[in-house]
Structure 1
Amino acid sequence: MKYGFFDEEKREYVITRPDTPAPWCNYLGSPEYGAIISNNAGGYSFVKSGANGRILRYHFNSDDTPGRYIYLRDDENGDYWSASWQPVGKDLELYKSEVRHGTAYTKMKADYAEITSEATYYVPLGKDYEVWCEKVTNNSNKERKISVFGFAEFTNDDNYNQDQVNLQYTLCISQTSFRDNLIYQQININAEKREDGTNGLERFFGLAGNPVASYNGDKEAFIGLYHSYGNPVAVERGECDGVCNYNENSCGGLHTKLTLAPGESKTVVFVLGKHTEKEAKAIIANYEDTTTCEKEVNELINFWHKKLENFKVNTPSESFNAMVNTWNAYQ
């Protein structure tokens, strides 16, 4: 059974069926900031160390959860789906998708209910944060009102083991707040001070390109009791309830509303990282011009393609050539 193919010209692996037998993942980032992302947006992020610098949670199971989730909702009829096939998992007869794992970026295109979603995930060259660029296009002949939700499940501690196992402690040291289109998470405020007095364990999840309509900083408030990543209560309801976290599981949940004329496209940008409030505001401001994303992705492509040109093999096996010339070298 075929799930995809190598696009040698673009140096991408193209996944044409999202229901792969296992998560098929890509690496994003640099030695300063790393990220793993699957074809269904599952995966985690870290600063310098995957063991001691973890920002996003990930459960190593067949569910491939949680991840960098972008949800879309038709505000006229309440129907919702995700920019990646999972976690909502719409019927593949109705939901068409294509995922392109490239050199330090992943693109996910989905068509559902006459709406095209194009999500691009990457870490800008030389930066220590990640970007989720989401373009939404109305392919119908009528105006559409679409809500877009971004969801990131923070760890409660930089240390992976502490976060996963020692919840009796880590639940008590994490809190979130919302200001200026950003969710801030602070961990162990009293113990992790920098020399300038600021907290050394600050994370942020922000939105650029459109105002925040509602938010959550508490995972349980966003997902809901007896709900899952596939049917979060905030998305079902059509808005977040504004609850932030104090001594519970933290998240970044941001909601924005788009009104799209027939044929119109709009882009919003979610940004995630480990920075102070002042630094985060400056980073987010850079993406109010959403064309920044296209420029940064092109920079990544040019950088990596030039680097990979230094060594090439040519054998009778096209798949062997692809692995050696691009993927083994890149990873």
Structure 2
Amino acid sequence: MKPDPLLPAPHARLLSNGRYFTFITAAGTGQSRRHGHVVNRWHGDQVEDAQGQFIYLRDLDTGTLWSAAMQPVKCGSTSYQSSDLPGSFRITSESNGIRSQLDIAVSPNDDLEVRRLQLTNLTKRPRRIEVTSFIEAVLTWQGADIGHPAFSKLFVQTSREGNTLFAERRPRGADETWPCLFHSLAGATAQSWETDRLRFLGRGRTAADPRACEAEALSGSIGNVLDPCLSLRTAIQLVAEGEAVLGFVTGIADSKEQAASLSMKYGETNSIDHVLNEAVEAEENLRLEHGLDDRTASRFQSLAAAMHYGHRSLVPPPQELDPSVAPPVPRDRPTMVLCDGWSAASTQEALKARRYWGTKGFYTNFVVFDDSSQTPEGHDDRVFTLSPSVLDERGTSLLYAIATLVVKGALPEINNNHAPGAPPAVAKVECGDSGFSDEKLRFFNGYGGFSEDGHEYVIRLPHDGERPPMPWINVVANEQAGFLVSESGAGCTWTRNSQANRLTPWSNEPASDPHGEAFYLRDEANGEVWSPLPGPVPAACDHEVRHGLGATRFRSACNGIEQDTV
């Protein structure tokens, strides 16, 4: 099968030294980890793709904010392109009269990655540019973070020494030991820092418009933060048509002492340059060892990127499924299914790709349909041979449904998107009259209070005002089903069990409070789009939220329309 992708897969690369792994995309998103310990949060969202390690740039004279990569700010760039050498990745963009070149590589010798940022002033006047890094620190296994992120965050403790921030996970038992995550600045002095994600983003905001990038300095919070991040800030002076270079180093060490030693070792930009050169040489040697030319290695990398995002064009369309005939293949890894037998050229090529991916930390199940039902010797226990005569149509359909890649014929060719574009701007809806009632609230605290009859809690959200410090949630349920909804309109619906049987997603993420359920209104005359709730696309109007027993009501008025949503 040689599918034609519905959309180009992102240009992305797997970088690794065999212990520390980085997945980086053309948009600047992706994830890093050492063995099973994850550095930053990333879920491979095909639609938003807004998680990774980010660098913000701000013109201190105009206040204009953008990012070194397309994500997270998503501002339009005059020029944008991604490229790669063996062992390294480059993102180049031009925005607001500044050219930025971001080079990423993993050290062949130490368990860390470097990000070298070169800024060039394209104008004939001096520029003052503020540079701010941002990482959502995880330091646990991916499954633990996805399963209960709010609980996982509680055990991370942060500290600082000079230009370096550290994150350590407090053990929950005497038999637990955890490594130390560190993030440091090279070639400049960190003028301020932040390790509290809620402080950095601000309530109701995302990484696209963090409150921290409106402040002159980061808050400097460290310690037992409830939602950890690692952020360093510096400012650089660029003369007319001048340039400057600095670097960020992120890694995991067995102890804080080792982490501090590594941050000192890579404290200057010449050490960053050395890593970039060494990474290219190490990757060239690896490809030679695996018998891969550059074109083949690039094809394998592109296919791995599409598999990371679960590109549905890599598998057949879903059929009706019968879970009672599940094939004996574990579900804890991506699964490749080869349909043409062990002797097929595509199977042998896929096996070569799998070995190469393994050196990059991308581990897969490998399933081959072969009449012999026998797996050749020398393979690991994640290689399976299934006979088409034994696995009936129902079992095959279920195997295809859990697969990440199904190959019939040649391996697919992937079209890479080297220049992801910013999404189109949404027209803002003009402000209407206040949606607040004249009712006087009891025990009003600045955000809300009880209704006069005491049956509802009323929250008033001015369009230009502050959100409550944490989500204000109403839980409505009976024995069979239920839902919860916050003051922003974000919520989740479930049946029988709120954790095991969710019908819509729930992030349990108080800062941005993302929406898994939403309503949208569109004015067909002018194309304006908004939500009748305070999110996810709020109109520039006031909202009143009334949490009561068994229901929540949202009231607002905008664009000449009164809105009452229950």
TM over 0.5: yes
Residues 322/277 of structure 1: CA separation in 2 closer, same or farther (3 Å cut): closer
Offset, 1:118: 1.0
Instruction: Name which of structure 1's ranges 248-257 and 173-182 shifts more when overlaid on structure 2.
Output: 173-182
What are the residue-to-residue correspondences of 1:98-109 with 2, within 5 Å? 98-109=81-92
Give the Cα–Cα distance (whole angstroms) in 1 for the partners of residues 241 and 157 of structure 2: 41
What is the aligned partner in structure 1 of residue 229 from structure 2? 251
3-state SS of 1:88 partner: coil
What are the residue-to-residue correspondences of 1:85-96 with 2, within 5 Å? 85-92=70-77, 95-96=78-79
- Is 1:57 the counterpart of 2:41 in the alignment? yes
Q: Which amino acid aligns with 1:159?
A: W
Give the Cα–Cα distance (whole angstroms) in 2 for the partners of residues 228 and 22 of structure 1: 24
Larger RCO, structures 1/2 (Cα 8 Å, 6+ apart): 1
TM-score by length of 2: 0.49
Q: CA RMSD in A?
A: 2.4
3-state SS of 2:269 partner: coil
Offset, 1:239: 2.7
- Counterpart of 1:236 (choices 190, 205, 214) is 214
3-state SS of 2:275 partner: helix
What is the aligned partner in structure 2 of residue 47 from structure 1? 34
1:121 touches 1:131 (CA, 8 Å); kept in 2?
Answer: yes
Give CA deviations for 1:229-273 in whole Å, capped at 9, x if unaligned.
Answer: 111111132431222352512110110010111122211111111
Give the Cα–Cα distance (whole angstroms) in 1 for the partners of residues 238 and 160 of structure 2: 27
Give the Cα–Cα distance (whole angstroms) in 1 for the partners of residues 220 and 54 of structure 2: 19
3-state SS of 1:225 partner: coil
3-state SS of 2:284 partner: helix
- Counterpart of 1:73 (choices 48, 55, 58) is 58
Offset, 1:296: 2.1
- Is 1:215 the counterpart of 2:197 in the alignment? no
Give CA deviations for 1:15-47 in whole Å, capped at 9, x if unaligned.
Answer: xxxxx8553321011221111111111111111
Give the Cα–Cα distance (whole angstroms) in 1 for the partners of residues 23 and 256 of structure 2: 25
What is the aligned partner in structure 1 of residue 247 from structure 2? 269
- Counterpart of 2:267 (choices 278, 285, 288) is 288
Aligned length: 295
2:83 touches 2:89 (CA, 8 Å); kept in 1?
Answer: yes
What is the aligned partner in structure 2 of residue 131 from structure 1? 114
Q: Which amino acid aligns with 1:286?
A: K
**Unaligned ranges ≥5, structure 1:** 1-19, 314-320
- Counterpart of 1:297 (choices 264, 271, 276) is 276
Give CA deviations for 1:277-318 in whole Å, capped at 9, x if unaligned.
Answer: 3222322223333122222222222232344356879xxxxx
Give the Cα–Cα distance (whole angstroms) in 1 for the partners of residues 198 and 22 of structure 2: 24
Larger Rg: 2
Give the Cα–Cα distance (whole angstroms) in 2 for the partners of residues 193 and 226 of structure 1: 39
Give the Cα–Cα distance (whole angstroms) in 1 for the partners of residues 258 and 55 of structure 2: 24
2:69 touches 2:93 (CA, 8 Å); kept in 1?
Answer: yes
Residues 55/303 of structure 1: CA separation in 2 closer, same or farther (3 Å cut): closer
2:76 touches 2:95 (CA, 8 Å); kept in 1?
Answer: no
Q: Which amino acid aligns with 1:297?
A: L
Q: Which amino acid aligns with 1:56?
A: N
Give CA deviations for 1:82-126 in whole Å, capped at 9, x if unaligned.
Answer: 11012111124xx31111133221111111122111111111112
What is the aligned partner in structure 2 of residue 279 from structure 1? 258
- Counterpart of 1:186 (choices 168, 174, 182) is 168
TM-score by length of 1: 0.81
**Unaligned ranges ≥5, structure 2:** 1-6, 301-352, 358-566
Calculate percent identity across the aligned residue pairs: 23
Offset, 1:129: 0.9
Instruction: Name which of structure 1's ranges 255-264 and 235-244 shifts more when overlaid on structure 2.
Output: 235-244
Give the Cα–Cα distance (whole angstroms) in 1 for the partners of residues 8 and 75 of structure 2: 17
